[in-house]
């Protein structure tokens, strides 16, 4: 009976979403205050019912209600409690429910925090979010109902995919979806502005914190996914250019571009139509990602063709939402662009270049991801587009982006003399080049790629250039100058994160040493100055799996470093073997040992890796997210919140800016 209540809650939520998606929008167009006023209550009610459905599904998991098909497919009585909760989003239907819950949550947040916006405009934003809700809720109810019954009920469940039984996995999808779905907010702000017909100069300021919020969650979500893949998939890579990864990476790239173009629109009131287009693009790529992951297209084009119901539904949704927004854009965006000049050497020009390079990068990921699917669907055979393609082509936009970043941060708005800019940063560049050469010599073993020192220097350059202003303030003891704002610190920290990321990627991909060994008890292998002694394998028992656990003692110059215990697990229900790598993490290097197959006798195949500076990859991502948090919580946005809205959007607002 309780699961039926969950389904009923979803139906009610759909009903409220239908009202939210229609009456406030019509009300805003016709000036009917009582319809405009419906937006917030509908958003709140929708959140309550979606949350209720989510709790009911979670409850079904925690009490092992195997009469619910979805629970029977993704859980088991022996599954540890925490994973029963995480199993709610371990499959298709529950993932969508989580997607929907997060959409309802963002909508509620917008409803609560939009009091300072003009009423009609806020109603339009919430109305547009309502349209997305209607799409996702009807998709769930028509094709992917998580509350479908299984009769007769299963005696025990099919268990959660062992790959997903992991703490990082438990929080990875919620983080990622907070980002993915969060881009619906700037999208709704953009479409609402298009509906209004013109763009208030404050529009960018309203949109910025929301975009930063979505972006920082997306950053964390992608980093968590990469970390999880590193230690859970068992072969030590951290990014595979897999279509699932690309699906989350594309909206991130477009979102990064959006953050930067919003800065120009906020500050100068120009690039308006471009910013709006990016907001549409970022969310459309989120929907495209959902389509790629959820349609079955990934397994193969043929799996999609044999069961096209779900895929076609999302494709239609994607075309309706994106197509509708683009038609509106084509009709309205033309008259929005404002005049405003800038010189070749100016903050604006650098940010323009940032946007172009990021969009080119997005385009490359898009082409590489979709190409095999399109080619196959068109009957021209199958190809695989993998790391060799992406690594080669991606550096074309990325290397200039990273090198120019250090300059762009220090360029003045409107324009400045190029000479002034260069002279300011010559010391930073010299330090980066010298430091890069030293670091290359220290970490290198047989350098064979000219891109390696360039990458190292580029990474250092970005870190140093990011912190150049605060460093110079310290050096010159300038205490009387205005302190850096939180937004400025956010920019510094996030960009330093980019530098650390580049450094980590370059060093770890150039100098990783991996070796597959056959080891019997007592055997030793020496890699990168570390001695790995294989002491044997014993059987251990987990709550829902059996495992072989190896003991590998690591020494350096005779003194012990660590004791690693990689496992080979077989989960009792699904029976597929899983590799649990053992890792000794450190900022300077990771030591990674994975247990392979038994080779007869007492011997096992063992994969050993030495990965220098791998942690910098995730440290960089963390700093980017932290920078986003600092920028999103800057005082000027909160001041904006308190400021009552007196001017309706539609009139061009003059200099009403507060500091």
Partner 1 sequence: MISALRLPICIVAALFATTAFAIGPEEPFADPVLEAEYQALIHEVRCPMCQNQTIADSTAPIAADLRRELRELMGNGASRDEAARFLVERYGDFVLYRPPFQPTTWALWGAPILLSALGLLVFVRTVRARSAQPLDEELPPS
Binding site for partner 1 (CB under 8 A): 234-235, 237, 240, 242-243, 267-268, 270, 339-344, 348-349, 352-353, 356-357, 359-360, 363-364, 367-368, 371, 375, 380-389, 393, 396-397, 413-415, 485, 487, 516-520, 523, 579, 596-597, 599-601, 603, 605, 655, 657, 659
Least separation, in Å, of the C-beta of 604 and partner 1? 9
Selection from 440, 501, 434, 441 nearest residue 466 by Cα: 501
Residues 513, 527: contact at Cβ < 8 Å? yes
Q: Which CB atom, from 229 or from 617, has the smaller least distance to partner 1?
A: 229
Q: Which CB atom, from 20 or from 517, has the smaller least distance to partner 1?
A: 517
Least separation, in Å, of the C-beta of 348 and partner 1? 7
Q: Which CB atom, from 242 or from 309, has the smaller least distance to partner 1?
A: 242
| Distance from C-alpha of 425 to C-alpha of 435, rounded to nearest angstrom | 15
| Distance from C-alpha of 277 to C-alpha of 186, rounded to nearest angstrom | 11
Least separation, in Å, of the C-beta of 445 and partner 1? 13
Cis amide leading into 13 (omega within 30): no
Q: Which CB atom, from 82 or from 396, has the smaller least distance to partner 1?
A: 396
Host H or E run for residue 65: none
Cα separations (Å) of 1 from 67, 77, 97?
11, 21, 19
3-state secondary structure of 43: helix
Least separation, in Å, of the C-beta of 561 and partner 1? 23
Least separation, in Å, of the C-beta of 417 and partner 1? 14
Q: Which CB atom, from 364 or from 463, has the smaller least distance to partner 1?
A: 364
If one counts every other C-beta atom within 10 angstroms of the C-beta of residue 112, the result is 11
Q: Is 449 exposed, middle or buried (0-12, 13-18, 19+ CB in 10 A)?
A: exposed
| Distance from C-alpha of 6 to C-alpha of 57, rounded to nearest angstrom | 7
Least separation, in Å, of the C-beta of 494 and partner 1? 17
Least separation, in Å, of the C-beta of 138 and partner 1? 31
Q: Which CB atom, from 305 or from 383, has the smaller least distance to partner 1?
A: 383
| Distance from C-alpha of 36 to C-alpha of 198, rounded to nearest angstrom | 19
Q: Is 293 exposed, middle or buried (0-12, 13-18, 19+ CB in 10 A)?
A: middle
| Distance from C-alpha of 133 to C-alpha of 13, rounded to nearest angstrom | 9
Least separation, in Å, of the C-beta of 244 and partner 1? 9
| Distance from C-alpha of 7 to C-alpha of 3, rounded to nearest angstrom | 7
| Distance from C-alpha of 125 to C-alpha of 119, rounded to nearest angstrom | 10
| Distance from C-alpha of 579 to C-alpha of 566, rounded to nearest angstrom | 8
Q: What does 520-553 look like in DSSP terms, one character per residue?
A: -TT-EEEETTEEEEEEEEEEEE-SSEEEEEEEEE
For 234, the token pair is: 């068992």
Least separation, in Å, of the C-beta of 393 and partner 1? 4
Q: Which CB atom, from 390 or from 618, has the smaller least distance to partner 1?
A: 390
| Distance from C-alpha of 247 to C-alpha of 309, rounded to nearest angstrom | 21
Q: Which CB atom, from 20 or from 466, has the smaller least distance to partner 1?
A: 466
Selection from 237, 241, 167 nearest residue 594 by Cα: 237
For 630, the token pair is: 């600092």
Q: Which CB atom, from 94 or from 243, has the smaller least distance to partner 1?
A: 243
Q: Which CB atom, from 143 or from 393, has the smaller least distance to partner 1?
A: 393
Q: What does 67-130 look like in DSSP terms, one character per residue?
A: TBHHHHHH--TTS-HHHHHHGGGSSHHHHHHHHHHHHHHHHHHHHHT-TTS-HHHHHHHHHHHH
What is the length of the chain? 659
Handedness of CA 400, 405, 411, 415 (dihedral sign): positive
Least separation, in Å, of the C-beta of 36 and partner 1? 31
Q: Which CB atom, from 58 or from 609, has the smaller least distance to partner 1?
A: 609
Q: Which CB atom, from 463 or from 525, has the smaller least distance to partner 1?
A: 525
Least separation, in Å, of the C-beta of 599 and partner 1? 4
Selection from 523, 546, 519, 550 nearest residue 537 by Cα: 550
Q: Is 477 exposed, middle or buried (0-12, 13-18, 19+ CB in 10 A)?
A: exposed
| Distance from C-alpha of 132 to C-alpha of 11, rounded to nearest angstrom | 15
Q: Which CB atom, from 51 or from 338, has the smaller least distance to partner 1?
A: 338
| Distance from C-alpha of 43 to C-alpha of 20, rounded to nearest angstrom | 7
Least separation, in Å, of the C-beta of 378 and partner 1? 9
Least separation, in Å, of the C-beta of 370 and partner 1? 10
Residues 519, 606: contact at Cβ < 8 Å? yes
Q: Which CB atom, from 30 or from 299, has the smaller least distance to partner 1?
A: 299
3-state secondary structure of 166: coil
Q: Which CB atom, from 198 or from 485, has the smaller least distance to partner 1?
A: 485
Write the CB contacts of 378 (distance below 8 Å, at least 6 apart in sequence). none
Least separation, in Å, of the C-beta of 166 and partner 1? 17
Q: Which CB atom, from 237 or from 542, has the smaller least distance to partner 1?
A: 237
Least separation, in Å, of the C-beta of 447 and partner 1? 14
Least separation, in Å, of the C-beta of 596 and partner 1? 6
């Amino acid at each position: 009976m309780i699961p039926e209540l969950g389904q009923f809650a979803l139906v009610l939520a759909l009903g409220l979403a239908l009202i939210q998606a229609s009456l406030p929008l019509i009300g805003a167009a016709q000036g009917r205050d009582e319809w405009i006023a419906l937006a917030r209550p509908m958003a709140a009610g929708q959140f309550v019912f979606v949350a209720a459905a989510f709790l009911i599904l979670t409850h079904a998991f925690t009490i092992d209600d195997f009469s619910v098909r979805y629970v029977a497919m993704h859980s088991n009585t022996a599954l540890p409690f925490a994973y029963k909760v995480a199993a709610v989003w371990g499959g298709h239907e529950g993932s969508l429910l989580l997607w929907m819950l997060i959409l309802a949550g963002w909508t509620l947040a917008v409803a609560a925090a939009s009091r300072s916006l003009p009423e009609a405009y806020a109603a339009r934003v919430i109305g547009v979010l309502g349209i997305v809700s209607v799409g996702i809720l009807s998709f769930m109810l028509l094709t992917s109902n998580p509350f479908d019954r299984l009769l007769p009920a299963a005696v025990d469940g099919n268990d959660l995919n062992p790959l997903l039984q992991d703490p990082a996995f438990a929080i990875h999808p919620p983080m990622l979806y907070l980002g993915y779905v969060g881009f619906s907010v700037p999208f709704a702000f953009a479409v609402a502005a298009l509906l209004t017909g013109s763009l208030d100069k404050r529009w960018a300021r309203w949109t910025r914190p929301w975009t930063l919020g979505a972006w920082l969650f997306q950053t964390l979500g992608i980093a968590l996914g990469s970390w999880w893949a590193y230690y859970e998939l068992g072969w030590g890579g951290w990014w595979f250019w897999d279509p699932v990864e690309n699906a989350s990476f594309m909206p991130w790239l477009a979102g990064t571009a959006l953050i930067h173009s919003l800065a120009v629109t906020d500050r100068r009131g120009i690039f308006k139509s471009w910013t709006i287009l990016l907001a549409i693009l970022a969310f459309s790529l989120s929907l495209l990602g959902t389509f790629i992951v959820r349609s079955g297209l990934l397994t193969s084009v043929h799996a999609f063709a044999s069961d096209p119901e779900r895929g076609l539904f999302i494709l239609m949704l994607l075309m309706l939402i994106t197509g509708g927004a683009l038609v509106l854009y084509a009709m309205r965006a033309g008259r929005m662009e404002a005049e405003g000049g800038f010189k070749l050497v100016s903050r604006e020009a650098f940010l323009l270049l940032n946007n172009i390079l990021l969009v080119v990068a997005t385009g490359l990921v898009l082409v590489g991801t979709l190409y095999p699917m399109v080619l196959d669907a068109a009957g021209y055979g199958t190809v695989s587009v993998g790391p060799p393609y992406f690594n080669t082509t991606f550096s074309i936009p990325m290397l200039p982006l990273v090198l120019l970043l250090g300059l762009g941060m220090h360029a003045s708005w409107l324009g400045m003399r190029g000479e002034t800019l260069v002279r300011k940063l010559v010391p930073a560049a010299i330090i980066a080049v010298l430091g890069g050469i030293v670091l290359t010599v220290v970490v290198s073993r047989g350098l064979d790629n000219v891109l390696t020192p360039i990458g190292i220097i580029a990474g250092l350059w970005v870190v140093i250039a990011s912190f150049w202003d605060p460093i110079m303030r310290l050096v010159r003891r300038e205490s009387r100058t205005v302190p850096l704002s939180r937004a400025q610190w956010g920019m510094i920290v996030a960009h330093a994160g980019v530098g650390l990321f580049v450094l980590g990627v370059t060093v770890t991909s150039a100098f990783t040493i991996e070796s597959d060994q056959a080891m019997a008890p007592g055997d030793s292998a020496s890699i990168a100055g570390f001695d790995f002694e294989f002491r044997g394998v014993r059987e251990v028992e987990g709550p829902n799996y059996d495992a072989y656990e190896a003991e590998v003692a690591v020494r350096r110059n005779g003194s012990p470093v660590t004791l690693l215990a990689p496992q080979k697990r077989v989960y009792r229900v699904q029976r597929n073997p899983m590799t649990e790598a053992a890792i000794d993490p450190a900022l300077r290097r990771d030591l990674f040992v994975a247990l392979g197959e038994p080779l007869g006798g007492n011997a096992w195949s063992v994969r050993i890796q030495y990965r220098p500076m791998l942690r910098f990859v995730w440290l960089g991502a963390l700093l980017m997210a932290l920078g986003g948090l600092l920028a999103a919580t800057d005082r000027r946005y909160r001041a904006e919140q308190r400021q009552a809205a007196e001017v309706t959007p539609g009139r061009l607002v003059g200099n009403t800016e507060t500091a």
